[in-house]
Amino acid sequence: MRLERMGASFQTRLSFMRQLIRRIRREGWRLERLCFELDADGLGTAVYAAHAPARTYSLVAFTHGIGAAERTDRVIAEAWDATFSLFDGVPDASDIERLRENTPKQEAGRFRTSELVLARANKSMRLFGHAVESLAAGRQPDAGRLAETGYLMRTTAVYGSGKFGCADREKIADRPEMRGPFQAELLTVYLIRWMSIDLVNHVARCRGGAGSAALAPDHARYLGIGNATGLGMAPFLIRYPVLVNNWVLARETALARVRALPSAGAGETAGFMALLGRARRYVGEWSVEDEPQAARIRRLRADLDALAGWCPAGLAGRYPWDSLYRFAESNFSLEGQEFTVSLLLEGHGPVVDELGEKMSAPVPSRLRPEMRLGELRRLIGAHYAWALAEDYTRPEAAERFWYYSEEKLEPRVGNRRTEPGAEFEMPIAVARDISRLNARLLDYDDSQTAADFLAEAPEYRNTVWRVQTAPLCPYGEIRDNLIAADRRPLDILRFKLAFFGVSKFDPKSDLWTRVNMYQGAPLPDEVAGGNGEEWAFATRPAALSVEAGP
């Protein structure tokens, strides 16, 4: 995996949101609003329940009035428009009271293992107020403004896996509905999206009374939940190479299966062309301020135009999907190639979807102290030649260091030459550390064991483990020097977010991006009714269409 390609990733039908919605639909989960005690300004408490076949999960939501100056996407924020806990089961009154004391405090609160996720969100001030005003006056929000933002609220953190006393992943990992990666977190976000729609309708109704309108279903469906994501995601990908490998392996296996299909029937071809048409409209509606990303989107549009021209003749031959892939690989930008993979997988659920079950990871493998250093050296040569090629004494090759700030533990990136704290950097400098290990091993004999070596050089312990793990996970390593001056953390974020299933990447710097989650996903009554299986590449509903894109 190279950063440049990771930074061109798109969601696929294997993405974790897509898996969750398919499961809810397939298993007929019942989605229920249990409590909605909000005042006319939309402040109060709400509880939403997702009844899975064997268990119920409840979103407990608290909404707050905050000042504009307090509304920031950053980890260091202290107040939010809404705060949430995902409760394992149905909370009783005492649970809700306890959460009312803690959930609004977020990181400063304290939670129990009955809580699975902690999250918060802010309103999109650009859209929320306008939507309330419009609906209160009995009309739908302005098409352009709705499409420009795409969500009413934006989450700024979604914490799971034992954070702040919440339940460990281990508690729920064996449950079928939670076995996949991040399913509790993404269920939380889906329920938040529901609440955000209820919230805007409620406030509009309180203001407009009988003359007010509710968001039309196609308008509501087009609204997702925004998310602002920064550096915190990157260390996760470094820490869990086997897990990341399994994500990519599932995707690559799916792609190989599709490419191996010998032919495409007329219906299949027509279906793909319809999908491509929708995808082109979607890309046509994707607009960002960031000029580098805007240029990439323009090139992507051109790639998809070329694909549309290639398809009528290209798909008529043998192994049409393989031919299509090869055409993209030879002619498209990286974004064009990755988008093509997304398209190829999208139309082939029967050979793709079951691979979603393989995207989790078992307990991490342990260090193997009995390994001979000769073997360790061989593994370095076989799997990390790319890391050994760099000269890390060049200042620009090791300029950055990642760390936790004392300010609310916010992840930050510093300049090694000019800022303090490099001695406490996060262990993400894999390439440099492998290079150092390789040099240190020169002092040892091939017949010695890793145990011998680590007794004298314990600072290499996690690096030795990493090398030993490499043969188990060919897709587990980012094959780039992550601390070089010119690397973009954003590329790592996009890769992970694509596996989550987000859309509309909107970079705000090299360090963070805004995205949209669940845009186009079926609404709760639709998905619970078994409808809305396909929702990738959400385009503006007909009533909102404007002249844009192809």
Binders of other proteins among 423-462, rule CB under 8 A? Answer: 424, 427, 449-451, 454-455, 458-462
- Give CA 188 to chain center in angstroms: 13
Q: How far is the CB of 418 from other proteins (least distance, A)?
A: 8
Q: How far is the CB of 149 from other proteins (least distance, A)?
A: 6
Q: Kindly identify the residues of this chain, within the stretch 490-509, that bind other proteins according to CB under 8 A.
A: 508-509
Residue from 41, 78, 170, 305 in contact with other proteins (CB under 8 A): 170
Round to whole Å and give the CA distance between 88 and 55: 8
Q: How far is the CB of 427 from other proteins (least distance, A)?
A: 5
Task: Output the DSSP codes for 467-504.
Answer: HHHGGG-TTSS--S-TTSTT--HHHHHHHHHHHHT-EE
Q: Kindly identify the residues of this chain, within the stretch 329-368, that bind other proteins according to CB under 8 A.
A: 366-367
Q: Is 101 in the site for other proteins (CB under 8 A)?
A: no
Residue from 68, 93, 210, 542 in contact with other proteins (CB under 8 A): 68
Instruction: Lay out the site mask for other proteins across 110-149 (x = CB under 8 A, - = otherwise).
Output: x-xx--------xxxxxx---------------------x
- Size of interface with other proteins, in residues (CB under 8 A): 74
Of 325 and 444, which CB lies nearer to other proteins in the complex structure? Answer: 444
Of 56 and 72, which CB lies nearer to other proteins in the complex structure? Answer: 72
Q: How far is the CB of 242 from other proteins (least distance, A)?
A: 15
- Give CA 43 to chain center in angstroms: 29
Q: Is 27 in the site for other proteins (CB under 8 A)?
A: no
Sign of the alpha-carbon dihedral angle for 51, 52, 53, 56: negative
Round to whole Å and give the CA distance between 306 and 94: 60
- Give CA 61 to chain center in angstroms: 22
Q: Is 548 in the site for other proteins (CB under 8 A)?
A: no
Contacts of 189 (CB under 8 A, 6+ apart): 17, 119, 155, 158, 225, 227, 517, 518
Q: Kindly identify the residues of this chain, within the stretch 211-240, that bind other proteins according to CB under 8 A.
A: 228-232
- Give CA 240 to chain center in angstroms: 15
Q: Is 183 in the site for other proteins (CB under 8 A)?
A: no
Q: Is 64 in the site for other proteins (CB under 8 A)?
A: no
Q: Is 30 in the site for other proteins (CB under 8 A)?
A: no
Round to whole Å and give the CA distance between 200 and 204: 6
- Give CA 145 to chain center in angstroms: 25
Round to whole Å and give the CA distance between 172 and 375: 38
Task: Output the DSSP codes for 25-56.
Answer: HHHT-EEEEEEEEE-TTS-EEEEEEEE-SS-E
Q: How far is the CB of 419 from other proteins (least distance, A)?
A: 7
Q: Kindly identify the residues of this chain, within the stretch 361-380, that bind other proteins according to CB under 8 A.
A: 366-367, 369-370
Task: Output the DSSP codes for 253-278.
Answer: HHHHHHHT-----HHHHHHHHHHHHH
Q: Is 463 in the site for other proteins (CB under 8 A)?
A: yes
Q: Kindly identify the residues of this chain, within the stretch 147-166, that bind other proteins according to CB under 8 A.
A: 149, 154, 156, 161-166
Q: Is 263 in the site for other proteins (CB under 8 A)?
A: no
Contacts of 53 (CB under 8 A, 6+ apart): 27, 28, 29, 177
Q: How far is the CB of 73 from other proteins (least distance, A)?
A: 4
